[in-house]
Structure 1
Amino acid sequence: MSSTSARATRNRRVAVLATALLVAGVARFPATATASAEASTVPACAGLDQLRIPASVISLPTTGGRVTAAVVKTGVVSGVAVEYCQVDADVFPVDPAAPSIKMRVDLPTGWNRKTMMFGGGGFNGTIPDLTGNVPFGPADQPAPLARRYAVLASDSGHQQSPTAVPSLDGSFGVNDEALHNFAAGDALKKTYDAARFIIRHGYGATPVKSYFAGGSTGGREALEVARRWPLAFDGVISAFPAWNNMSEILDLGYLAQVLSRPGAFPGPEKQGMLYTSVIAACDGLDGVRDNVVSNQGACHYDPRALRCPDGADTGPTCLSDAQIGAVKAMSTPFRWPYRIASGETSYPGFPFLSGADMRTPFLGFGTTAPANPMPVTSGYGLQYWEQWVRYFLTRDPGHNSLDVDPRHPGKWLDRISALSTVEDRNNVDLRPFARAGGKLILMHGSADELVSHLSTNDYYQRVRGVLGPRATHEATRYYVIPGANHANFGTPAFAASWDSLTALERWVETGRAPRDPVVTDVNHNRTRPLCEYPDWPRYRAGDPNTASSFTCAH
């Protein structure tokens, strides 16, 4: 056999092996094993339209899929001119009553042979903006598509009603396949497999490196892809992850009941007063007054300092006894007196007394008290609870969510327990991901008003308990950012911005772990050291707007 024939035979064998491994869920191929003679960095866009996606290339049950459109687009993405092929596709369900997964892949000209998959938010239901950046991403650096990543995402297997509040339509929960696509993360792998099939047809090659980034629901999805499919992604960015979703939902339901009591809800003026009081008491505990509480461990604020005379509500300058009770309920752990199948027993609460941004109304709890039906002004977290009760728990669109007591759920206990196995993604065994060389960057703001950073602290400690300190440090970095809130919503005390993608690329591709990273507050033109948990930035001396003036204290 000639050397040319031998190479051709070997290439065919490699291609067959690569396809078999892809179907089995193995996705980390070296470049030499995935390139073909037709490999290109320019997508063959016209040939993708109406492409059939065989069910055999998707490792979880589907009935295949089809590309519905493939269009060449040009635009400016984070200041960079980019030409790309926008590919829309459907992945078809097994259950005829379930909705399809609607997905999108943007294939840039000048492809860098890498992929970035984005996670969603809330109840999902829409495809994320593929021209966007990673959570807490840098304001002065290009987004993944502008870096010539092939970028992909989906709606997680259901389509939000056009009249619903964005990411707050839970109506898909009445269908089991749609529920598992979303809550258990099945749609993630189905989307990933279908996208790789499209990428192979578009470029004639498969990626050399694959990354995932998401925050909130997307942060949970990031942790889940690392655990369930440890060979699929080389690096993962998880920000403010709602990993124990069932546990948080139970806390939200409890707080909905507490805040709905007569006189218990603190309105916007009282929220602002409470914020100012907390800052006055705790801001300087880190060595400098900068409107950020960095040393949360030393902050022991008691809301009774704002108690109205005799505990009655006498106006916006004080808190009644009922409001003090509600504030304490929000910022302390909620424990339920029964067992659920996931094994979770509590949720740590929301640290509103430790520097959350109360200059704007609570993202989680809004400007008005909960009611039936839940007002849109009652806050995101309470609306999330109502959608969950109506479509996940009772599957009754008219059910009054305030009638369900998470402390004493009665006839709903069995259903809560069953849902916990789907929604509490609390298996923290990242050993296969770490052994395969995977790297995880985990981030959370200490002033997050929708997903508690204390919960992510718990997740990280559990990972250390399974992997051990050394293996955890080799595969994971966890940063708590003082003053940062949920996705830089509103006017946070610290609007976090860090080029985590470049740091992750360097770690994955050259073995250089993040060292002395610096995070920028884009609202106040200042920097801070990005300290590994449990450290926090303590002021030493010098310009308080410069990271070098701080040290990471234990």
Structure 2
Amino acid sequence: MTIPAPVMSLPTTGGRVTSASVMTSVVSGQTIEYCLLGADIFPVDPSAPAIKMRAALPHGWNRKAMMFGGGGYNGTIPALTMNVPFGPADQPVPLARRYATFASDSGHQSSAAVPSLDGSFGMNDEALKNFAAGDALKKTHDASLFLIRRAYGKNPSEVYFSGGSTGGREALVVAQRWPQAFDGVISAYPAWNNLSEGLHLGYLAQILSRPGAFPGPAKQTLLYDSVINACDGLDGVKDKVISNPRGCHFDPHVLRCMGGADAGPNCLSDPQIRAVIAMSTPFRWPYRIASGETEYPGFPFLSGADMRTPFLGFGTTAPANPMPVTSGYGLQYWEQWVKYFLTRDPGYNSLDLDARQPGKWLDRISHLSTIQDRNNVDLRPFARAGGKLIMLHGAADELVSHRSTNDYYQRVRGMLGPEPTRAFMRYYLVPGANHANFGTPAFAAGWDSLSALERWAERGQPPRNPIVVDVNHNRTRPLCEYPGWPRYRAGDPDSASSFVCTR
């Protein structure tokens, strides 16, 4: 089937269904029969790659649709049987609820061993805008709704979006740019200020590459354990979770090796202390960029981040040229950005670029900021259209700073006012949760945000006293609206009823 170009509100040269097959899968314990469609959306620039997308159209359709966001640099199509970010294990995923689900690769196909770390598509302007500005989101949305109409003979009654990390940024993009396209949005750990975070990562890459500055895994564990020991009980109970990160004040100098020289795994040298402080301190650049951003707030490594997932944080080896696959995810992300987004020179050494003094690259950085920093906080059009937004972040996120999401939420409240914001938006900070429940977080978050969003968008019932489950440890906590956090009162420390949300 041809997908006509006019059904998409952004420029394309149309599209085509490339495959269609009846699938029978066990999803959330249920046997689901659905039609799986594959399609290409063709670019305007003939040298740009097509957007590859899929849609799962279930028998017994519930008249609703769910679009999934991606991760990192995208480059693959998310599984249409997936759950929403931080979704619970004991509730059916969207397809098992008979949602029509759809997603795309955002306009390029990865060839990397870690698909989400291939930025080579950034050499093409249309592919760059499809990914970074979010153009592929609306094109995929429009093409998918066209196919849903052809399959079922009617439009969905509700269309939702969910995503985390890059997908969380994409969730905010659709609310900002196309306020009438989605009835509700779940945005988890959103990398909304993508370029700003990149500048901070570039600064850290240079610092961590200096001789003796990189703290290896043993020292990362030492730092993590020391922070937990210092701050764990401040919320009233020792449970390996720091519930109030802003109340945790830890000075890494207490771990200083005698004389400041590296003396083994039980202390930090002066260069390592400087590196740790740089990671957890706001990075401010001494120049203007067109997006208006001026800083990135730093990562919460001194407020209880789980240092035992080094791939997302420091990595296990120092940054170098070329960037080792054993360095942190964010540092590899930076290298791809420098090579393909900024300089468009695959041979460029990313450690040669000083994020504090970019020299001849400043104009290009400023231009990219208008594409990558999706920082429009005027969500009034989305609210007027009846849209509802649930935003989530883990307070121990190693890859996208929760402080950045705090900032975005506060900006929205500052523009719209507290009550108008609360009428359509909720933001929850989950203590102990890390990035996407990767590895073995202190608190592996699980909450049925989709049912909460359905009740809010369809029946006007906002979330009320939600409870989040630690899916690894069979314990619960109240899910507190930011800036609230759960303080222990009395009773079973594994029960949410023993805590109260406080400020």
- The TM-score range, normalised by the shorter chain, is over 0.9
After the TM superposition, which residues 463-502 of structure 1 pair with which residues of structure 2 at under 5 Å, given as runs? 463-502=412-451
Q: Distance in 2 between matches of 1:211 and 1:196?
A: 12
Deviations 1:50-69 (A, max 9, x none): x1000010000000000000
Q: 2:482 aligns with which of 506, 523, 533?
A: 533
Give, in angstroms, the shift of residue 362 of structure 1: 5.2
Give 1:12's aligned residue. Answer: none
Deviations 1:158-182 (A, max 9, x none): 0001x43220000000000000000
Instruction: Answer yes or no: is the 8 Å Cα contact 1:307–1:320 preserved in 2.
Output: yes
Q: Read off the aligned partner of 1:310 and give its amino acid letter.
A: G
Aligned to 1:442, the other structure's residue is in SS state: strand
Deviations 1:153-210 (A, max 9, x none): 000000001x432200000000000000000000000000000110111111110000
Give 1:103's aligned residue. Answer: 53
Q: Distance in 2 between matches of 1:539 and 1:335?
A: 36
After the TM superposition, which residues 19-34 of structure 1 pair with which residues of structure 2 at under 5 Å, given as runs? none
After the TM superposition, which residues 3-82 of structure 1 pair with which residues of structure 2 at under 5 Å, given as runs? 51-82=1-32
The alignment covers a number of residue pairs equal to: 503
Aligned to 2:423, the other structure's residue is in SS state: helix
Q: 1:144 aligns with which of 53, 74, 94?
A: 94
Give 1:292's aligned residue. Answer: 241
Give 1:16's aligned residue. Answer: none
Q: Distance in 2 between matches of 1:100 and 1:364?
A: 33
Q: 2:183 aligns with which of 234, 256, 264?
A: 234
After the TM superposition, which residues 203-282 of structure 1 pair with which residues of structure 2 at under 5 Å, given as runs? 203-282=152-231
Q: Distance in 2 between matches of 1:342 and 1:512?
A: 36
Give 1:172's aligned residue. Answer: 121
Instruction: Answer yes or no: is the 8 Å Cα contact 1:531–1:537 preserved in 2.
Output: yes
Q: Read off the aligned partner of 1:437 and give its amino acid letter.
A: G
Aligned to 2:302, the other structure's residue is in SS state: helix
Give 2:344's aligned residue. Answer: 395
Instruction: Answer yes or no: is the 8 Å Cα contact 1:362–1:449 preserved in 2.
Output: no
Deviations 1:103-141 (A, max 9, x none): 000000000000000000000000001101000001100
Q: Read off the aligned partner of 2:162 and give its amino acid letter.
A: A
Q: Distance in 2 between matches of 1:364 and 1:382?
A: 9
Give 2:468's aligned residue. Answer: 519
Deviations 1:43-94 (A, max 9, x none): xxxxxxxx10000100000000000001000010121110000000000000
Q: Distance in 1 between matches of 2:337 and 2:182?
A: 30
Aligned to 1:388, the other structure's residue is in SS state: helix
Instruction: Answer yes or no: is the 8 Å Cα contact 1:364–1:379 preserved in 2.
Output: yes
Aligned to 1:416, the other structure's residue is in SS state: helix
Q: Distance in 2 between matches of 1:364 and 1:316?
A: 18
Give 1:124's aligned residue. Answer: 74
Q: Identity over aligned residues, as a percent?
A: 78
Give, in angstroms, the shift of residue 297 of structure 1: 2.0
Q: Distance in 2 between matches of 1:81 and 1:527?
A: 30
Q: Distance in 2 between matches of 1:401 and 1:198?
A: 43
Give 1:420's aligned residue. Answer: 369
Aligned to 2:392, the other structure's residue is in SS state: strand
Q: Read off the aligned partner of 1:467 and give its amino acid letter.
A: L
Give 2:457's aligned residue. Answer: 508
Give 2:263's aligned residue. Answer: 314
Give 1:386's aligned residue. Answer: 335
Give, in angstroms, the shift of residue 365 of structure 1: 2.2
Q: Distance in 1 between matches of 2:221 and 2:412?
A: 37
Q: Read off the aligned partner of 2:72 and give its amino acid letter.
A: G
Instruction: Answer yes or no: is the 8 Å Cα contact 1:272–1:360 preserved in 2.
Output: no
Gaps of 5+ in 2: none
Larger Rg belongs to: 1
Q: Distance in 2 between matches of 1:167 and 1:365?
A: 18
Deviations 1:204-262 (A, max 9, x none): 11100000000000000000101111111000000000000010000000000000000
Q: Distance in 2 between matches of 1:129 and 1:122?
A: 15
Q: Distance in 2 between matches of 1:115 and 1:236?
A: 12
Q: Distance in 1 between matches of 2:220 and 2:67?
A: 37
Q: Read off the aligned partner of 2:370 and give its amino acid letter.
A: T
Aligned to 1:283, the other structure's residue is in SS state: helix
Give 2:306's aligned residue. Answer: 357
What's the Cα RMSD here?
0.6
Q: Read off the aligned partner of 1:139 and give its amino acid letter.
A: A
Give 2:38's aligned residue. Answer: 88
Give, in angstroms, the shift of residue 541 of structure 1: 0.1
Aligned to 2:360, the other structure's residue is in SS state: helix
Matched, 1:551 2:467: no
Matched, 1:370 2:319: yes
Instruction: Answer yes or no: is the 8 Å Cα contact 1:122–1:167 preserved in 2.
Output: yes
Task: Give the TM-score of the pair, scaled to structure 1.
Answer: 0.90
Give, in angstroms, the shift of residue 291 of structure 1: 0.1
Give 2:107's aligned residue. Answer: 157
Give, in angstroms, the shift of residue 272 of structure 1: 0.4
Task: Give the TM-score of the pair, scaled to structure 2.
Answer: 0.99
Instruction: Answer yes or no: is the 8 Å Cα contact 2:307–2:313 preserved in 1.
Output: no
Instruction: Answer yes or no: is the 8 Å Cα contact 1:268–1:360 preserved in 2.
Output: no
Give, in angstroms, the shift of residue 364 of structure 1: 2.9
Aligned to 1:352, the other structure's residue is in SS state: coil
Give, in angstroms, the shift of residue 465 of structure 1: 1.4
Matched, 1:193 2:106: no
Give 1:182's aligned residue. Answer: 131
Give, in angstroms, the shift of residue 270 of structure 1: 0.3
Q: Distance in 2 between matches of 1:275 and 1:96?
A: 50
Q: Distance in 2 between matches of 1:187 and 1:409?
A: 30
Give 1:6's aligned residue. Answer: none
Give 1:329's aligned residue. Answer: 278
Matched, 1:433 2:382: yes
Gaps of 5+ in 1: 1-50
Give, in angstroms, the shift of residue 468 of structure 1: 1.1
Deviations 1:409-452 (A, max 9, x none): 00110100010000000111100010111100000000000000
Q: Read off the aligned partner of 2:245 and give its amino acid letter.
A: Q
Instruction: Answer yes or no: is the 8 Å Cα contact 2:164–2:187 preserved in 1.
Output: yes
Aligned to 1:378, the other structure's residue is in SS state: coil
